[in-house]
Amino acid sequence: MTKKIAFQGEPGAFSHAAVHALFPHDEALPCVTFEDTIAAVQSGAADRGVVPVENSLYGRITDIYHLLPESGLHITGEHFLRVEMNLLAVPGATMADIKSVQSLSVALGQCRKFISEHHLTTINGGDTAGSAREIAERGDKSVAAIASRLAGEIYGLNLLAPNIEDAAHNTTRFLAISRTAEEPAPSVEKVKTTFVFRVRNVPAALYKAMGGFATNGVNMTKLESYMLDGSFTATQFYADVEGRPTDRSLQLAFEELQFFTDHFHILGVYPAGKI
């Protein structure tokens, strides 16, 4: 049975491409905001969701760090999407026709060299996929969009120039989320566990809380901190480690962590994605 997978953005967005990669046989459900995406999964309007959590150029997606821990949802998978920017134009247009280019400001910023070399005027759009849709609707051969190949396919645009981004390493990490937790099969070798915690207000609490991971040989691949409710004295930490909570080494590390925390919650245990 086909399931619905919620994502933020218009059809053809890079989040839509991540949905295709993670759930190729399911139906993608576009949502306006991250809050709408999470709400769709919570309510059952969608079976799962796919949300971006960090980008190799721009760092973490701050909204997700605040929304996900409070959502009651579980992380069930991850996918690293190579972000490829493409110049898309209406059928019949050539590079000689293009005078301006429209896209999300971040996407335009990632393609500065190409835009400069071709002396193009930039137009800020609401997002990449939305820009592709608007270019298709406008039908103007002098204006192109920068967006995904998927957006070009959806809106009937031609690919004039592929992979025009300045940085070849531009990659976004996406998380799959669900209402229910899903333990990876025993045959899955590489597993990640994601959790959040708040340390107690005692000297060296964070240092001591982290000690258990080092002494038990647990590899921590991410540790992020962020304010809670705009308070300078309330900080929550978001962490990824390799392994399952049922592994003895991680069990011991979590036991030690909880001596120095007043809040600890596992967000998900899932197969590690391939970078």
User: Which residues 6+ apart lie within 8 Å of 119 measured at CB?
Assistant: none
Contact 6, 176 (CB under 8 A): no
Is residue 174 among the annotated active site residues? yes
Which helix (H) or strand (E) is 115 found in, with range? helix 112-117
* Closest CA relative to residue 27, chosen from 9, 54, 7: 7
Question: In DSSP terms, which residues pair with 86 in a beta bridge?
Answer: 147
Which helix (H) or strand (E) is 142 found in, with range? none
Please state, in angstroms and rounded to a whole number, the distance separating the CA atoms of residues 11 and 128: 10
- What letter represents residue 187's amino acid? S
Please state, in angstroms and rounded to a whole number, the distance separating the CA atoms of residues 131 and 135: 6
Please state, in angstroms and rounded to a whole number, the distance separating the CA atoms of residues 258 and 66: 21
Please state, in angstroms and rounded to a whole number, the distance separating the CA atoms of residues 170 and 167: 6
User: Which residues 6+ apart lie within 8 Å of 87 measured at CB?
Assistant: 98, 101, 114, 144, 145, 146, 159, 160, 161, 162, 164
Is residue 14 among the annotated active site residues? no
Q: Which of 23, 174, 195, 213 is catalytic?
A: 174
Backbone angles phi, psi at 53, to 5 degrees: -120, -25
The SS3 of residue 56 is coil
Q: Which of 37, 76, 128, 172 is catalytic?
A: 172
Report CA 122 to chain centroid distance, whole Å.
Answer: 26
Residue for token digits 């053809």? 12
Which residues are designated catalytic?
Answer: 172, 174
